[in-house]
Chains A and B, each alone.
Chain A
Amino acid sequence: MSDSESSDDYDSIAIDKNEWSDLNPINQDHETNEICRIAYTENFNDVFGYFRAVLKANEISERAFDLTYKAVKLNPANYTVWFYRRILLKELGKDLNHELKLVTQIIDQNPKNYQVWQHRRNVVELLQDPSKELEFTEKILQQDSKNYHAWQYRQWVNKNFALWDQELDFVSSLITVDYKNNSAWNHRFFCLINTDHSESVLNREVDYCFEKLNLNINNESVWNYLRGLVDLMVKEGFGYPEKVCQFCNLKLESKKEDELSPFLISFKIDYNWTRAIEKKNSDANAVKEIVQQSILYLNLLAQKYDTIRANYWKYLLSKWKQEFDQYF
């Protein structure tokens, strides 16, 4: 809950009714049998009562502008207030750099609120000045490295202002701190797609995955990223990277139980499916071997290594049977 009604802030958000004697506040339309009436404070009711009046009268004035400040401090999620404030910003010719400072403060206090991030986007778009934006999102991500709004906003800044230079280093430093930060891995893929994803770069990225998998073979973020890379390489016509098969086979041969990650096994099964389909009408022996290995792995997953997903592994088994019935 917001603590914006603490005594420090009280004067800046309290309303002076003398200033508003010319307007009648409009009450929120309460039905007589509300299931759960919110216990607003008197000040909250005053601020929003006058806001509704200002909105209805379409009043463009300094006092209206100040009122929207009080209103967003009390409820930063009220998108109607933000909407009206944007109109006032424009009509009154307000200093947008000052507004940027304000929204910085409000996001800092409410980092998971949709409206404040949207407001920042609107202001920065008008200013056409992204110079503070990467630093700002970095600061928010230092508080919460997976804040969805921060990542989403950063992606918009990158794309809208073509600011890509810092991104790979930024994302790599976050992955070094926490190699399971999936938001960072997702951002890495986003950067790749929007910048250089030539064959040599993608090969480098595959090596990067191996490096991280050698630290922890059971990291879903890396396996998902690797799948994305491999799909991209095939799509771009570079072909399936042999070293990925080799890496997987090496790991699968390991006798250590904790090396047999379900993600590793399912990655191999997925690879096997593509190979088996390819060779279906040309190399029966190879297909038989692939099918048998896949059945073995699927049963291992369903019965031992990943039992919570047993229903899914059994479904995949049925798909293999359906497609390669003669090899069962």
Chain B
Amino acid sequence: MENGEMRMHTDGEVDVRGAYCAISVAKLCNLEQFEPKLFEKVSDWILSCQTYEGGFGASPFNEAHGGYSFCALAALKLMGKESLCDIEKLTYWLVNKQMKFEGGFQGRTNKLVDCCYSFWQGGMFPIIHSVLMSDSDYLQENQNWLFDSESLQEYILICCQANFGGIIDKPGKNRDYYHTCYGLSGLSVSQYCMDNTVNICENDDSLVNRTHPLFNIGFEGANRAINYFKDHLIETLD
């Protein structure tokens, strides 16, 4: 779209998820070889989605929300533009989304905890760490993310496992694939530090594989895909 917005589909809704989906696929498959200017105005539009609270909303002025914030930050990072947002404000908003009693994350200010935000919110910390550490010896030496990893792992494993397997939003809810996926993804982010060392807070067999913080697919798999498409330039369709 002209001003950098991206629609989810033809005459569909405009929101930052569209930008993230397009950019992450393009990066994985090296599609920019065809159209280097594909995402020229998108970063400016994404930046305009950062609110006074510090997080990002779906579109400019919409309420700061974990899901949309992840999409915004990951998309910016993929374009190399992550430092253009107000990282300090984002970090302050983000750390305050961890619930001090539950240990899990909420999606928006003054709302309830939900296990899926273990990834949407938790998953932003590796990206933020990579930005802030360039100006901080403390973060270069300190491998832990800026949230309470132990409390998050406890919330996921102790409060959010359904009786017969699967992960739930919060106690009292039913299991589903979405919460199982993002609960496990958030667990993975908590368990692996910046330097790939492991930080298991429950018993050892709770360790999961490492997820790629930008694509949320297996870390090794993501790297293999990127390398494959870098080496194999796709023939154009015409």
Contact = CB atoms under 8 A, between A and B. Distances in A.
Given A79-B9, A83-B11, A318-B136, A224 B147 contact: no
Contacts of B121: none
Contact of A180 (B52, B110, B144): B110
A182 B12 contact: no
The winner among B12, B13, B52, B111 for most chain A CB atoms within 10 A is: B52
B147 A228 contact: no
Interface residues of B, number: 43
The winner among A148, A180, A232, A318 for most chain B CB atoms within 10 A is: A148
A311 B148 contact: yes
A203 interface: no
The binding surface of chain A is classed by DSSP as: helix
B148 A310 contact: yes
Interface in B54-75: 54, 57-59, 61-65
Contacts of A190: 61
Contacts of B142: 315
A114 interface: yes
Contacts of B61: 155, 186, 189-190, 193
The winner among B61, B96, B137 for most chain A CB atoms within 10 A is: B61
Interface string B1-31: 0000000111111000000000000000000
B225 to A, nearest CB: 20
Contacts of B12: 79, 83, 115, 118
A79 B111 CA distance: 29
B157 interface: no
Given A148-B58, A315-B146, A189 B136 contact: no
The binding surface of chain B is classed by DSSP as: loop
Given A118-B12, A152-B59, A182 B111 contact: yes
B51 interface: yes
Interface string A240-260: 000000000000000000000
Contacts of A306: 100
B109 A182 contact: yes
Interface string A295-319: 0000000000011111110110011
Contacts of B111: 146, 182
Contacts of A318: 136-139
A83 B9 CA distance: 9
B11 A182 contact: no
Interface in A23-48: none
A311 B142 CA distance: 10
A295 B122 CA distance: 27
A86 interface: yes
Interface string A110-150: 00001101100110000000000000000000000010100
Nearest to B150: A308
Interface residues of A, number: 45
A316 to B, nearest CB: 9
Contact of B109 (A118, A224, A231, A322): A224
Contacts of B10: 83
Given A309-B95, A309-B98, A315-B138, A186 B147 contact: no
Interface in A144-186: 146, 148, 151-152, 155, 180-183, 186
A289 to B, nearest CB: 23
Contacts of A186: 51, 53, 57, 61-64
B65 A148 contact: yes
Contact of B52 (A83, A115, A227, A308): A227
Contacts of A205: none
17 contacts: A79-B8, A115-B12, A121-B13, A148-B58, A152-B59, A155-B62, A186-B51, A220-B110, A228-B52, A308-B99, A308-B100, A308-B103, A308-B148, A309-B98, A311-B144, A311-B145, A315-B142
Interface of A: 79, 83, 86, 114-115, 117-118, 121-122, 146, 148, 151-152, 155, 180-183, 186-187, 189-190, 193, 219-221, 224-225, 227-228, 231-232, 266, 306-312, 314-315, 318-319, 322
Given A182-B63, A311-B144, A322-B138, 20 more contacts: A83-B9, A151-B63, A155-B61, A155-B62, A181-B110, A182-B110, A183-B108, A186-B53, A187-B63, A189-B52, A190-B61, A220-B109, A307-B100, A308-B99, A308-B151, A309-B96, A311-B145, A311-B146, A318-B138, A319-B136
Interface of B: 8-13, 51-54, 57-59, 61-65, 91-93, 95-96, 98-100, 103, 108-111, 132, 136-139, 142, 144-148, 151
